[in-house]
Structure 1
């Protein structure tokens, strides 16, 4: 299946998820991640503000922030790349150009993600064997992930059924090291 058809299939499946499923999945994923020592010790976390039926990150961001982590969220640049700014509580956000909430704090630049000790990214699907993630198709997170060091944990948040045995890949597609599903954290087997 090509990327466009796979995206359509996954977005249609996500549209059918109930509010209860979305809520319980978010809570399970949040608790699973917060139970990991390497998440608890992460001083600077790059995350994303979820929208729609994406695995919800709002409670996770708040919990990380309340536990003392500095959380950076992306700010969409006109060229499609991601700048980064610090989340400083719910009142520190404002709608960005696409209606996605973004921090109003000072922009730290596209390379700020290099300093993160944990990177949490959105994905529509991830390939179980290679760790290649399927995004929305604009390449913003592929560019951001290309800046992350090889020893920094990168985690894609997924719903059940989105960790697949095959995801179409192109040379620019970046891999993640972990997938967080509701109740299960999986270290992927790629180098």
Structure 2
């Protein structure tokens, strides 16, 4: 997984990215985050808020990881507000599945859809999934936001966004 994410960051020339900390049931992002920070890439990690928005924290080599609002791994440290993500060159987000049109099925809380929908100038957005989670079609709701592509443990797939 780390190799695919490293190649994506290099190809896009990203110097600042947002990335989530994976759970044991998702493709791993922890090694990518640690190495990106070591290489001088600014990595923002999400922190869930009760109001449905995401705060952000800058990843550091010695960052403490705790349990967030929903039991997910989240950084413990200085908290930046929701608009901090507006400065990244690339968003790397979780997904349960993504379809060939770029529609992402999340975990039902809408955090990333709200974030993407509120950004003035959204950079490329790639969802991290297993190869088997790239499907022909996923359910779509009016608030759902498409992704630019997916990153799996074996490949990176650019996708076309659906037409309005």
Aligned pairs, number: 161
- Partner residue of 2:93 out of 106, 111, 121: 121
* Cα distance change, pair 97–143 in 1 and its aligned pair in 2 (3 A): same
**1:12-40 CA-partner distances (Å, limit 9, x unpaired):** xxxxxxxxxxxxxxxxx21122123235x
Question: What does 1:98-137 align with in structure 2 at a 5 Å threshold?
Answer: 98-129=70-101, 131-137=102-108
Tell me the TM-score normalised to structure 2 length: 0.89
Give unpaired runs (5+ residues) of structure 2: none
Of 103, 111, 119 in structure 2, the residue corresponding to residue 140 of structure 1 is: 111
Q: What is residue 186 of structure 1 aligned with on the other side?
A: 157
SS in 1 for 2:20: coil
Matched, 1:156 2:119: no
Report matched runs for 1:1-191 at 5 Å.
29-36=1-8, 37-39=10-12, 41-129=13-101, 131-148=102-119, 152-190=123-161
Cα offset for 1:121? Answer: 0.2
After superposition, the C-alpha distances for 1:58-117 in whole angstroms (9 at most, x for unaligned) are 011111111111111111111121111111124333332333332233221111111111
Unaligned runs of 5+ in 1: 1-28
**Considering only CA atoms, is the larger Rg found in Structure 1 or Structure 2?**
1
Deviation >4 Å, runs of 4+: none
What TM-score do the two structures reach when normalised by structure 1? Answer: 0.77
More helix by share: 1
**Contact (CA 8 Å) 2:63, 2:77: kept in 1 or not?**
no
Over the aligned positions, Cα root-mean-square deviation in angstroms equals 1.7
